[in-house]
């Protein structure tokens, strides 16, 4: 009886171990020979942008002495040659894709005493060329806290031009107001 029990246990042990091997495919070996030719392509994209020196230094509206003030020009809106704008972003020639630009404000213009000039008072317009009138005031868009596209398919070696305006209501408390504008360059056709 005892011998039979031991024999049964040995058989169980043997089958269990065999099943473990079978379950994990240790006994399965396959050999296949095929004559395939691989087709391969690597698509690389690269882009680089640079602020104009004036844009790099920030968008300044100077001292506003009379209120209310409507469409106050940023200091370099007409600072370029033939009254073109000095606010632009260049797309490097060392790039292989056209670039779209997105813009947003991190907050409304806010003073150090936390007085806020509503975000809809700061506006901008953009264009892929700059003249006395272009970017047009008539195309002004209110800044938002979310990224919005302004400037599409700007090719390497060209620039995207901007003008900025500010409205200041008469009741706005005096003070220095600041915020940060972010400009993002991305491969054309990609969403912000």
Partner 1 sequence: MIGDKKTRGMFVFIIALMLVLPMVSAGVGISWDKESTLVPEGTKTCLTYKVYNPWPTESYVQIKLSDGLTSLLVSAEAETKLIPAETSSEEAMPITFCFKTPTVYEKDCALFGSLLCKQDCLEEMINFPGEVEVIELSEEEAQRGGSGGSTTQMSVSAPLNIKVQCVAHKRNYSLVYVLIAAIAGILLLVNILKRRKFKEKASKRKIKKRR
For partner 1, the closer of residues 112 and 138 by Cβ is 112
Determine contact, residues 192/145, Cβ cutoff 8 Å: no
- How many angstroms separate the Cα of 143 from the Cα of each of 44, 136, 140? 33, 16, 9
For partner 1, the closer of residues 36 and 176 by Cβ is 176
Determine contact, residues 49/98, Cβ cutoff 8 Å: no
By DSSP bridging, strand 87-91 and strand 141-142 are: unpaired
Window of 31-39, 125-133, 134-142, 174-182 that interacts with partner 1 by CB under 8 A: 174-182
**Distance between CA 36 and CA 14 in Å, rounded?**
43
Span between the terminal Cα atoms of the chain, in Å: 80
Positions in 52-81 near partner 1 (CB under 8 A): 52-64, 74-75
> Which residue from 40, 44, 81, 138 is in contact with partner 1, where contact means CB under 8 A?
44
Q: Does residue 122 touch partner 1 according to CB under 8 A?
A: yes
Q: Does residue 126 touch partner 1 according to CB under 8 A?
A: no
Can you give the C-alpha Rg of the chain in angstroms? Answer: 33
> Which residue from 84, 85, 105, 165 is in contact with partner 1, where contact means CB under 8 A?
105
Q: Does residue 165 touch partner 1 according to CB under 8 A?
A: no
Q: How many other β-carbons are positioned within 10 Å of the β-carbon of residue 82?
A: 8
> Which residue from 4, 17, 30, 135 is in contact with partner 1, where contact means CB under 8 A?
17
Positions in 134-153 near partner 1 (CB under 8 A): none
Q: Does residue 187 touch partner 1 according to CB under 8 A?
A: yes
Q: Does residue 9 touch partner 1 according to CB under 8 A?
A: yes
Hey, which residues does 72 pair with through a beta bridge? 166
**Distance between CA 124 and CA 158 in Å, rounded?**
20
**Distance between CA 22 and CA 35 in Å, rounded?**
31
Minimal distance, residue 109 CB to partner 1, in Å:
7
Interface residues toward partner 1, by CB under 8 A: 2, 5-6, 9-10, 12-13, 16-17, 19-20, 23-24, 42-64, 74-75, 89-90, 92-95, 105, 109, 111, 122, 164, 168, 175-187, 190
């Amino acid at each position: 009886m005892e011998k039979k029990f031991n024999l049964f246990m040995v058989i169980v042990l043997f089958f269990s171990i065999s099943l473990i091997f079978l379950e994990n495919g240790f006994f399965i070996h396959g050999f296949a020979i095929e004559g395939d030719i691989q087709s391969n392509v690597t698509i690389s994209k690269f882009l680089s942008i640079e602020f104009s020196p004036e844009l790099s230094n920030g968008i300044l509206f100077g001292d506003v002495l009379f209120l209310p003030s409507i469409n106050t020009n940023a200091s370099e809106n007409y600072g370029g040659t033939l009254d073109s704008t000095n606010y632009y972003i260049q797309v490097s020639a060392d790039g292989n894709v056209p670039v779209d630009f997105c813009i947003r404000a991190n907050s409304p213009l806010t003073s150090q005493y936390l007085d806020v000039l509503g975000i809809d008072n700061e506006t901008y317009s953009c264009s892929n060329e700059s003249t006395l009138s272009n970017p047009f005031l008539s195309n002004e868009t209110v800044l938002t806290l979310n990224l919005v596209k302004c400037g599409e398919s700007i090719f390497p070696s060209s620039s995207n031009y901007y003008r900025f305006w500010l409205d200041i209501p008469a009741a706005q408390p005096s003070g220095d107001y600041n915020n940060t504008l972010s400009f993002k360059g991305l491969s054309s056709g990609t969403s912000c």
